[in-house]
Amino acid sequence: MENSTAQHEHASVKTYLVVAAVLGVVTAVEVAIFYVEALEPILVPLLLTLSAAKFALVVGFFMHLKYDSKVFRGLFIGPLIVAVAIILAMLALFGVFGGGAGGA
């Protein structure tokens, strides 16, 4: 049986460098956006989107989830969905979205 690292084709070194550059640029954009007052109304969705993009880049390319077995994908994305669902449920429960017990 082949070694797992040989079973699935990973990204090239050039791809890794491009991904790292994108990560650096997106981080700089995030911080720049933070200081732009005009963007304050859309700051939260904008920053969360950029953060999610960085998250996906690292998981997909650096952790090779884009190239690896679907079993690994399930082992990671399953608990991740549960964690995000619990976070959203708790935020709603504590009134962070403008209602609920905490908002009273």
Partner 1 sequence: MTEHAATAAEQHHSYTGLPNRKLLMWAFIGSECMLFGSLLITYLVYRGRSVVGPYPEELLNIPFITVTTFILLMSSLMMVLALAAVQRNDMRQGKLWILMTALLGLAFLAGQAYEFTHFVHEGLGLTTNLFGASFFLLTGTHGAHVAVGVVWLLTLFVMAMRGRLSSADAETVEITGLYWHFVDVVWIVLFTVIYLLV
Please, what is the angle between helix 43-57 and helix 13-35, to 10°? 170
Please, which residue, 96 or 99, has the CB nearer to partner 1?
A: 96
Which residues are CB-neighbours of 29 under 8 A, at least 6 positions away?
50
Q: Show the site string, 55-84: x = touches partner 1 by CB under 8 A, - = not.
A: x--xx-xxxx----x-xx--xx-xxx-xxx
User: Do 42 and 69 form a contact (C-beta atoms < 8 A)?
Assistant: no
Contact status: 97 vs partner 1 (CB under 8 A): no
Contact status: 31 vs partner 1 (CB under 8 A): yes
DSSP assignment of 18-67 equals HHHHHHHHHHHHHHHHHH-GGGGGGHHHHHHHHHHHHHHHIIIIIS-TTT
Contact status: 104 vs partner 1 (CB under 8 A): no
Please, which residue, 99 or 102, has the CB nearer to partner 1?
A: 102
Least distance from partner 1 to the Cβ atom of residue 58, Å: 5
Least distance from partner 1 to the Cβ atom of residue 67, Å: 12
